[in-house]
Structure 1
Amino acid sequence: MQLEVGTVVEGKVTGITNFGAFVELPGGKTGMVHISEVAPTFVKEIRDFVSEGQVVKVKVLSVSEDGKVSLSIKKALPPAPRVNSTPAPRANRPGNYEWQANKRNESDSFEDMLSRFKQTSDEKISDLKKGLESKRGGFSRHTGQQK
């Protein structure tokens, strides 16, 4: 059987070293799965993932001119289900503020938008300072007396 790069075949693990696992392929050829290609996670100990005599599916990564076959177990696995990468909306944002941008009015000038932003920002900072003072017990930092 001629091995082609990209094909997925089954093979039997015949040996395990610190750097990889040797797999006997159909047709009597032997290939090696490097430790980085054993699993889709960090592999410290190969024997935690494969054992001698185990039949595994491998993907042929390369075949060198001298006949060395490079294999991957992790690339032969079915693709993992895609997870939506957009974070879920959080109800409890810091300070319970609405962090989404307000709807813009096309006719607003830059100065109007800047003025609104400054006003909103000042209000938020004021609220944050009040919250911090209440957490400190309302004492002044410099005099140690209650305000």
Structure 2
Amino acid sequence: MSIEVGSKLQGKVTGITKFGAFVELPGGSTGLVHISEVADNYVKDINDHLKVGDQVEVKVLNVEKDGKIGLSIKKAKDRPEPEKRQYSHSQRPRQNRSNDRNSNKGETFESKMAKFLKDSEDRLTSLKRNTESKRGGRGARRG
């Protein structure tokens, strides 16, 4: 039996390591289920999820040229497609909401940039004035 990527198969757990579990597939070949492919949540100890001799359904992720077979238990599970949310009139998706800062549509990019630069220069001037006037502050002149 040839093993194809994407196919779902029944297998038997033949060995467990700290990084995954070896599963014997129909036809006598063996593949590895990496610890990250055992369950949907974080798996600290694989022994909490699998035991040698367990029958598991696996999905073939990849088949290497040297014969190594990558398997997944979590991707073999049939999960319903998440439903699309219906939004009421008052609940629109975020990308469609108008932002208060961007509500002045008459302003051009250049006028917004000029306003930003003026505001920024005013703040820098105020900051320099406050730090230089303090005795012993950075940049203060000693006399």
TM-score in terms of structure 1 length: 0.56
Aligned AA (1:78): D
In the other structure, the counterpart of 1:28 is 28
Kindly tell me the number of residue pairs found equivalent between the two proteins.
95
Aligned counterpart, 1:141: none
Deviation at 1:78, TM superposition (A): 1.0
In the TM superposition, what is the alpha-carbon distance from 1:69 to its structure 2 partner? 0.3
Amino acid at match of 1:70: G
Partner SS state of residue 53, structure 1: coil
The residue number in structure 2 matching 1:107 is none
SS of aligned partner of 1:79? coil
Residue equivalent to 2:7: 7
Please give the alpha-carbon distance, in whole angstroms, between the structure 1 residues aligned to 2:85 and 2:41: 19
- Correspondences of 1:1-147 after superposition (within 5 Å): 1-80=1-80, 82=82
SS of alignment partner, residue 61 of structure 1: strand
Q: Provide the secondary structure at the position in 2 that maps to 1:75.
A: helix
In structure 2, the CA distance between the partners of 1:85 and 1:37, relative to structure 1 (3 Å rule), is farther
**Quick one: distance in 1 between partners of 2:43 and 2:85?**
25
In 2, the alpha carbon distance for the partners of 1:56 and 1:11 equals 5
Shift of residue 81 of structure 1? Answer: 6.2
SS of the equivalent of 2:75 reads helix
Structure 2: how far apart are the matches of 1:18 and 1:55?
A: 19
Deviations 1:99-131 (A, max 9, x none): xx9xxxxxxxx9xxxxxxxxxxxxxxxxxxxxx
In structure 2, relative to structure 1, the CA distance for the partners of 1:81 and 1:26 (3 Å cut) is: same
Q: What stretches of structure 2 of length at least 5 have no aligned partner?
A: 88-96, 98-105, 107-143
* CA displacement, residues 17-38 of structure 1 (integer Å, 9 cap, x when unaligned): 0000000000000000000000
CA distance in 1, matches of 2:47, 2:84: 33
The 1-side partners of 2:33 and 2:26 are apart by 15
Q: Secondary structure in 2 aligned to 1:32?
A: strand
Q: Take 1:30 and 1:60, find their aligned partners in 2: how far apart are those partners? A: 11
RMSD of Structure 2 on Structure 1 (CA):
2.9
> Structure 2 length normalisation: TM-score?
0.58
How far is 1:85 from its partner?
A: 6.3
Identity, in percent, stands at 56
Shift of 1:82: 2.9
Q: Which amino acid aligns with 1:65?
A: K
